[in-house]
Each structure stands twice: as C-alpha cells, then as structure tokens.
Amino acid sequence: MNRRTITFLPLALLLILLSVNGWAQSHLSPQRLGFHRAELPATVEAQLLVDRLRVALEKRDTAMLADLFAPDYIEVESSQKVSSMMASVVSRDAMLAAPALFLSANGRSSSLSFKWSTVAENGSELQVNLEAKRFFASGFAPTQKEVFLRMVRTGQRWRIVESAGLYDFLAQSSAALSELSRADAQKIASVAGVAAKEYVLLESTPALQRSIVRKPVAENLGIERLTKTVTQQKLGKKLFSLPSDATLFARLEQFNSPPYFSGTYIQLVTDPAWNRVVYGDYENSIKAYDGGLTEGKLNRPMGIDHDSRGYVYVADTGNNRVLVLQLTGATNDLALRYVTSFGEGELSQPYDVVWDDRATPFDTIDDMVWVVEQGNRRLSGYRVQLSGVQKIVEYAGGENAFERPTSVAVGRFNGVCTSEIYVSDAGRNRVVRLYFDGTTLRQVGRYQGKAEAQFESVASDHWGNIFITDRSLREIIKLNNRLEELTTLPAELENDLTPLRFEPVFASVALAQTGETLWSGYNQGFVLEKWTENSGAQRLELGIDIAKLSVKLNDVLSDVTISSRMTDAGELKMEILDAVSARPVHVFRSEWSLAGEQHAQWNRRDENGRLIAPGFYKVSYSATSTYGTELARLESNDFYLPLFYYEECGGDAQNDPHLAQGFRSSKHGTKAEQTVATDAQRVVYKFDDVNPALQYEVQAEFYSGDAAVTQRLMVDDREVQAAQNVDQNVVSTGWLNVPPETYSDGAVEVIVEKVGGAGPASISQLWLRQANFDPNNPPAREMNATTVPREFELKQNFPNPFNPETTIEFSVPEGFSDVVELSIFNVLGQRVRTLVKGNLSTGRYAKVWNGTGDRGEKVASGVYFYKFSAGGFTQTRKLLLMK
C-alpha cells in the first residue's frame, strides 16, 4: 500500500469538500450544526410504508410491491363476509399479482386512499386498522372496506407479514367495476379518480424555496464554495487535478452522558488525472492513496463508494477492475489499506460503483456491489463477502441497450436498500430503473431527458428520491423513486454549477439509549463540479416544498379533488379557507406521504357536515419534512365554487337544512331514497343565496311509502315538472331549468305540490346547482365595503400591465335594478370576452380576467379595452397584456 500525507491542514481547509465543516467539532450534535437525519417514530415510518403500498397498487408497480411483503406473508380470512374471489388464505405470490385487480375498465388505475383508524405498537410489531377506499368517476360511490395489517420490523426495515381484508378489498372493487355498463365504464377516471369531464378551478406552481438550497461551504470563513482558487489561497496547493467522484464515510455515536456525541468523518475523492484517491478526516491530515506493490498502481480511478463498516470500493477504470480497500487504524489517524480486487478479465472500463446493503446494512452476508461498465455497456452485480467475490448477474439494457452508462445508484426506503437499481445512460439521455429479484434484472421504468441532456450521475437519498446531474444543461434534477419529476436546481450564473456528481450524506448512527445502530440519510449533500478557479464543490441542503397545486371540480359539481406534488417525504397539512373571512371551512386530516403526487377528496361539506355556500375559497397548506424542517404556511389564490346543494329529504336537519315546510320521516327506511319530507299539500324548500346573474337547474326524486299521490314540481309559481303519479316506486326527474324570473330577488323556493291522490306530497331527494358553469368566468366577487356606493364607478385594472391575470373593480349604486355588463374588446373593437352580464345587487365588485376569450382560448399580448355598461352609464378603460 502506498499512502502519502499531503500536509497537516488547518480546520479551514478540512471543511471543504462536503461542506460539513461543523462536523469536525465531533462533540457537537449534527442538529446543532444544522444537519438533520430522518428521525421518526415507528408509527410514522409505518405510515410512509402504507403510502408506498398505496402508490404501488395505484401505479401497478410490482417492484415496489415485492419490497413491502415478507416472504412468509399471508392474508387471513377477514372477519367480515369474504368475497368468493378470495380463498381463506392468500399467499405472497397472489398478493404480488394483485395489481392486475387494480385496473379500471379503461385499462388505467383508479385512485386509492388508506386512512388510519387505530394502531397498536408492541416492540418491533405494529397492528394497524385502516379504512381503504377506492375512488371511481363522479356518480359512482367509492368502494370501501376495513383492512388490517400486521407489520414487523427487522433492523430498519418494516414489512407486512399478515393482512385481513386487503386482497378482498381489491377483488371487491374490481368486481364492482366489472358490473358497470360499457357506457358507465367510459366515465371511469384515470389516476386522480375524477370524471373525464371536470372543471379546473385552480392551477398553481409556487416558487420553490426549500427543496434544494445552496448553502455556504464555510459560512464563518466566508467560503461559499470550494474552488481551485480557494485551495490555492488556503494551502498553496492545487489539491486535485481532475476530481471525478467523492463519498463520505461517517460514523456517529450518541451517548447518554457528556460528551454526548462523537463523530468520525472521512472524505474520499477520486482523481483520475493524478491516479489517486485523496482522503482526510477533517481534524488531522489529508492523505492520498495511489496503489502499492501488491495491488499495483491505480489507473484512472473514477467511481467510489463505501459501506457501513468502512470498506471502500473504487472503480479502477484503466486497470479494468474494482479495488476493495478498508479504512483502518486509530479513529484520529485512519488510513486506506488494500484488501482485494475483483473483475479482472471480466470488466471493461468500470466507470462507477455502488454498495448495496440488500436491506441489511450491518449484515454482510448478502452485500452486493454494482458496477457500471462503459467498455461492455452493461451493469454487473457482484456478491461481496469475506469469503470472496462472485459475479451473479449482468444487464446490458435489453432492447434499448445502454450506449454510454455513467453511474449507478441503489433504491432506498427509510435508509436501507430496496431491490431497485438506477443506471444513468449519458448516450441515450436517460435514467433506467431496474428491479433485481435476487437472480435477474428487469427494467421497470425510465426517465427520458431532453435531447441536449447529458446525465453524468445518479444518486439516491434516505427515502429513495433520485438525483440526476446534467452537465450539459447544468442542473440537478430530483425525481421520486418511480422517476417522476419533483423539482430542478438550475444554474444561477453563467459559470455556475456544472455538476458532475451529487451525493446525499449518509452515516452510521449508534444510539446508546436504545442500543440501535442505524444507517441514516441526512438533509445534506454535496455536488462535485468541474475543478476550475470558480467551481469545484458546493453544499446543498435538502428540504420540502409543494411544487404544484391544483383544484378540480367534478361535472356534477358535488366533489372537489385537490392535487399537490410534494418534493420530499413529509407530513402535509391542508385546509380550505373562506376567502373573505379567512376562516377554515374544512380541515383535511394530516398525513405522512412519500414524494410525488397526492390527491385529497372533498365533498364540499364543512366541519359540521353541512354543504358550503357558493363563493370564493382558497387552500392553506404546510408541509413538514421527515428531517424536521417545515415549510411555512402558504395560501393559494382564490377559486370559485358554484352553488351545489343536495337535500337528503327526510334525513336529519344537517342533511336536509333548507326544508321550509313539511315534516321529516324515516319510517319507511333510513336509505336516502326511503327517507322523505312530506306535507298534506305542499313541501317547500327555500334557498336564499342564489345569484340573479347566473342560471340554475334542479333535480328531484320522489317516493311515497304510504298511498299513491299525484304531484308536480314547481319553482315559486312556475311549474317545471308536470303532475305525475308517485307510489312506492322511485320516480326521478332529469335536470330541469329554473326560470330566472323566479330568483331575481336572490332567493328561490322549490315546491312539491299535491294535485290528487290519497297520499301526502312527498319527496325523497333534491338537488339544486348552477347551470352551465364556466370555471374561467366566475361571477364578480362582492367586496367588503363600509359604505354603499352612490354612483357607478369603473376603476383602473391592477396590475397593469399584467400576466397572467388582472383584477377589475366596479361599483353598482343603491336603487339600480337593471342588467350590468363588463366586457373586453380588442383594438379593432371586436368583443373578446364577456366577463359579467346580468343583474347585480348594490355593492362594490371585483372581477378577474385571466387573458382568455369566451371559448377559453389564450389571447395574444397587446392592448385591450374593458367596457362597463349599466342602464345609461358607460365607461371604458385600457389595459395591457404582456407575455
């Protein structure tokens, strides 16, 4: 072995490569120094595992599913009635085939939710009861079932060993789908679980602030990043010629008494230009390893990785081999010692290596090392044990063969490795996701980059999120484990961030209090850049953001789906606020979820179960990372929810709140179609928050459990449904138009009137909703005002110029009762958009224009005019749209 000491370095330089300068103070906790590991109670870890189960089923991802169930897993017979599709005991193989049950009628997956009801913890075992729901299209009730899961933890790995009701739930919901008619099946939703026809109320892409944050290498010394210039100033030496890859060996011990913490941190960097590995312990000297008499000299060492014990794996590219080295010696004077090498005669230009703990980071019996070979254009897997190294699998890319593979990473969940392997292929601008079943590799996913991309490396963090460095577009791309894009860190300056490698920080953490030793990721990483006067290495901090938010309303107007994209695993807290009062109307149950798309269903009811009034609302949300960092509370822009009321006639007052005349009865049954509101002559429902400027429609269902009755449906004094006979057979109407003149005063009465027969007037269900809803043209929003306007007024829009939307305010004085109109015209005098047309009561109003025409098309940039007309009043102002 050849070991050279470069120099004894002051702390200032020993800070540099991983920018973990504070860690050199080994008796300070990482938390005090701003470094946080994923530290969660067992119940939260299990919630994230259940979310992984949800995603695996929704996406029909057998690779994820196989990682969740123990080899001896069984599903036992549920205490409830078991579907004929399920035997009394379901094996692991049957459960792994379960995604086939999760296909909707159009070949896509519908959405699924698991809500925790109870959990019992007993040491390394959790018993969880869940409410499982599978959502279909609007108009179809979700299937649901109580599901029991028993999970057992071995080391850091939770696995499901027993369930009851899970397979049965999937079988039942699939059976429900098969019973739908072909026409109904076409309505079944895709991933979001909403109807094909849906209204987009809000789409927001917030500015990301915490997902990947640049941090100074050494803030107290004013060092933003490590560069060739910095090392010359601090050392008087270049230190590197062409650094290629780096890894940090970290071991942390936490005690119950002073000094409480002790740490060992060894940074290792390959330098193929000078044929050596540079390494140092941050408190003593930086050293170099370039080979020895036994093993021979290094020749273009490229990729490097290490395991939890201190063994280091180096891709010795020029020698077509992988070296196995070991960090040995006293804690304050560790050195690299040659152990063995492998791959001679098999490997061709090994370019990168990664250690795979096979979910047991402190048990070497199943350890593997994956090697990317550029010469053979393949990935090779070696079993690495003390008794020897054995090649057990190779993969060349199948039909789409690798062209220039550059890097390899292992999938992870809660720190430990899964059976997922990721390979970046710079020649084809892609990252390939593979699944290893212990014998063979198969492709299960792919992320395709832009044509000009050049993917140099791929790495994974504590929860299996994937980081790609693109040296051509000079950015770092963060994906979740299924290679779905989460966020991107672009270059800020012309010469900024030409990334070669990005490595999240991992450490072996020994806890004296519990006796556990954990392999854990931290919210820190470093990016290795081109070694120039202005670049070299940066420190990055990993956090969480909501990258995307959307609010969609189904075609019935009855249910809202709120979709968000979390950039990391964490706890999402979300509530609906009244946009005027800022008071919450609905609070969603907070949930711990993995990174990626999240969907929340809301039935438009408040916390007391009442349907909310039409109006403007907003989403308030916050997210807490598993590393303990929290996203500050944010609020979305306002969105408009149209009027929708459903009366379960005869039910309790909460579900039948607008009954003005009649008696509630459930003597014929408790189902919605059996409870009725009755009256000897007239059942009356009154709604007093309708807008005279809008259109509405009503639908009813009739049932008479007593004697037959002949009755008609009226709105105020207008008949909308002719008299018909009603008995014990359910009679339904279609959607019927509500005459505008019946609600010119802002209120409307829906009346069931008896015209003959022996029974009383009777109705079982009633719906009222806004007709012809256009989400791009919500009604003008009435503003809070302390005074009543005395005259018409049209204010200048703001902002102006604008993109993508602007607000126009206008006033309607007291005593005016005619039609008002607000429209947009182009410079040719052609009407582009009618924003408001109808009767408005006295008040001050605000109307938003989003730069679209009457057909929803985006209009061109330029000058436009907006005109306000009311009776004899007309005023026109100019606005400017800039894109």
Residues 431 and 551 in one domain: no
CATH code: domain of residue 629? 2.60.40.4070
Tell me the pLDDT tens digit for each residue of 262-309.
888 888 999 999 999 999 875 567 889 999 999 999 999 999 999 999
Mean pLDDT of 787-816: 92
Residues 537 and 551 in one domain: no
Tell me the pLDDT tens digit for each residue of 221-234.
777 888 888 888 87
Mean pLDDT of 367-377: 97
Within-domain flag for 176:
yes
Residues 587 and 671 in one domain: no
Q: 95: pLDDT confidence band, cut at 50, 70 and 90?
A: confident
* Alpha-carbon span 288 to 275, nearest angstrom: 10
For residue 491 the two structure tokens come to 């270059």
Mean pLDDT of 792-811: 93
Residues 415 and 527 in one domain: yes
Lowest mean pLDDT among 415-429, 583-597, 781-795: 781-795
Mean pLDDT of 648-664: 93
Count of domains observed in the chain: 5
* DSSP string for residues in 176-194: HHHTS-HHHHTT---TT-S
Q: What is the pLDDT of residue 385?
A: 84
Residues 237 and 383 in one domain: yes
Quick check: 81 pLDDT over 50?
A: no
CATH code: domain of residue 84? 3.10.450.50
Give the residue numbers spanning the domain of 52.
42-189
Quick check: 690 pLDDT over 70?
A: yes
Q: What is the pLDDT of residue 177?
A: 55
* Alpha-carbon span 785 to 11, nearest angstrom: 63
Within-domain flag for 776:
no
Q: What is the pLDDT of residue 495?
A: 60
Within-domain flag for 198:
no
Within-domain flag for 28:
no
For residue 393 the two structure tokens come to 């699998």
* Burial of residue 240, with CB atoms counted within 10 A of its CB: 0-12 exposed, 13-18 middle, 19 or more buried: buried
Q: 842: pLDDT confidence band, cut at 50, 70 and 90?
A: confident
Q: 580: pLDDT confidence band, cut at 50, 70 and 90?
A: confident
Within-domain flag for 296:
yes
Lowest mean pLDDT among 8-12, 360-364, 806-810, 846-850: 8-12
Tell me the pLDDT tens digit for each residue of 401-436.
999 999 999 999 999 999 999 999 999 999 999 999
* Alpha-carbon span 100 to 104, nearest angstrom: 10
Residue 772, Cβ neighbours under 10 Å: how many?
Answer: 9
Residues 154 and 75 in one domain: yes
Mean pLDDT of 520-528: 91
* Alpha-carbon span 776 to 73, nearest angstrom: 51
CATH code: domain of residue 491? 2.120.10.30
Within-domain flag for 568:
yes
| Percentage above 90 pLDDT, the chain | 61
Residues 108 and 181 in one domain: yes
* Alpha-carbon span 410 to 504, nearest angstrom: 13
- Closest by CA position to 426, among listed 443, 409, 445, 451: 451
Q: What is the pLDDT of residue 103?
A: 54
Q: What is the pLDDT of residue 173?
A: 67
Averaged pLDDT score across all residues of the chain: 87
Residue 671, Cβ neighbours under 10 Å: how many?
Answer: 11
Tell me the pLDDT tens digit for each residue of 751-780.
999 999 999 999 999 999 999 998 888 888
* Alpha-carbon span 601 to 585, nearest angstrom: 15
Q: Domain boundary residue among 611, 641, 671?
A: 641
* Alpha-carbon span 732 to 726, nearest angstrom: 10
Phi, psi of 856 (to 5 degrees): 85, 5
Lowest mean pLDDT among 100-104, 374-378, 858-862: 100-104
Q: 493: pLDDT confidence band, cut at 50, 70 and 90?
A: low
| Percentage above 70 pLDDT, the chain | 89
Q: Domain boundary residue among 485, 508, 542?
A: 542
- Global pTM reads 0.88
CATH code: domain of residue 758? 2.60.120.260
Lowest mean pLDDT among 377-381, 495-499, 553-557, 665-669: 495-499
Mean pLDDT of 509-534: 89
Q: What is the pLDDT of residue 514?
A: 84
Q: What is the pLDDT of residue 503?
A: 93
Within-domain flag for 37:
no
Residues 328 and 445 in one domain: yes
Q: Domain boundary residue among 641, 660, 686?
A: 641
Tell me the pLDDT tens digit for each residue of 234-246.
767 777 888 999 9
Mean pLDDT of 160-175: 84
Quick check: 114 pLDDT over 60?
A: yes
Lowest mean pLDDT among 279-288, 441-450, 603-612, 697-706: 279-288
Residues 495 and 356 in one domain: yes
Within-domain flag for 196:
no
Residues 789 and 874 in one domain: yes
Quick check: 32 pLDDT over 80?
A: no
Helix (DSSP H) and strand (DSSP E) numbers for the chain? 7, 65
- Provide the pairing of β-strand 781-782 with 718-726: unpaired
Q: What is the pLDDT of residue 592?
A: 95
What residues pair up with 856 in beta bridges, in sequence order? none
Tell me the pLDDT tens digit for each residue of 4-21.
444 333 333 333 443 334
Residues 507 and 558 in one domain: no
Q: What is the pLDDT of residue 12?
A: 32
Quick check: 650 pLDDT over 60?
A: yes
Q: What is the pLDDT of residue 658?
A: 96
Q: 261: pLDDT confidence band, cut at 50, 70 and 90?
A: confident
Three-class SS of 55-117: HHHHCCCHHHHHHHEEEEEEEECCCCCCCCCCCCCEEHHHHHCHHHHHECCCCCECEEEEEEE
Residues 555 and 407 in one domain: no
Mean pLDDT of 734-741: 94
Q: What is the pLDDT of residue 194?
A: 36
